[in-house]
Amino acid sequence: MNGQNKKGLTLEKRHGLTGWAFLLPAVALICWTSFYPMIRAFILSLQTGMGVNLSFSGFANYIRILKDPTFKETMFNTFIYLIIQVPIMLILALILASILNNKDLRFKGFFRTCIFMPCATSLVSYAMIFKALFANDGFINTILRALGLNAVMWFSNPWSARIVVVLALLWRWTGYNMVFYLAGLQNIEYSVYEAAKIDGASPMQTFFKITVPLLKPTILMTTITSTNGTLQLFDESLNLTNGGPGKSTMSMSHYIYNTSFVSSPNFGYAAAMSIIILVLVAILALLQMKVGDER
């Protein structure tokens, strides 16, 4: 009996070691490509200078961030995108997923592909397409003039330029999140919806009483990833508006890029700003987990 227990423990330990042996390469890769750069970025954020002339400066870069009006403006722009774009995008994605999950809908595969297609478009090319669409003599203004309305100088006004950025983000990422909701909906037995229909539940009641509660883990996941992506927004700010007019559409990541590689590079200050973004992402993810996860 004792021999069997010893043998069982030995097998358990052996299985544990085998599991760690499979995990070790992935853990080492994650540490090397994620955690090590984070630590190096934090060390760099405590330094000033260039190249081999870096010198320790403590928290001087972080103190400078608190006094930097440009960083405050880029943070305001980024949170405007976050507050407006993320809720609209996730609601649209959920509605589209619910419609396209209908088993009686014809050509739903075609519609799903069309809605997801923007996500497969190159970031740079789709930004250039939107830039052309909303140009002063672009397609949107041509339609407005044809309707007898005044053309809008979309990229000359801060708020209209922000609207273009939000529309571009919605066009590209709504289909991406829709796929997650579709996957979640297809794990829900269709008999649940049929039972609700027999009980006299309206489509609105079915949506809020069945679909939303059962998709809660997926909604939480997409909210966290969308928040993370928006706080690191870069391509649209650079390629669509180039941060203009002025700096009214510039994102935090765009400002970090300019600080690192455009006119008087300052890697220490850029690293400090990237650490601030990391902290913001972690705080918002934690808050969303607390609010959205009952566990």
| Amino acid in the structure at residue 113 | T
Cα separation, 223 vs 145, whole angstroms: 38
Write down the pLDDT at residue 119.
87
Phi, psi of 247 (to 5 degrees): -125, 25
Write down the pLDDT at residue 7.
47
Write down the pLDDT at residue 210.
85
Please answer whether residues 236 and 155 qualify as being in contact, where contact means their C-beta atoms are separated by less than 8 angstroms.
no
Q: Give Cα 48 to chain centroid, integer Å.
A: 31
**Global pTM value:** 0.85
Rg value, the chain, Cα: 25
Which residue positions in the chain have pLDDT lower than 70? 1-9, 51-52, 292-295
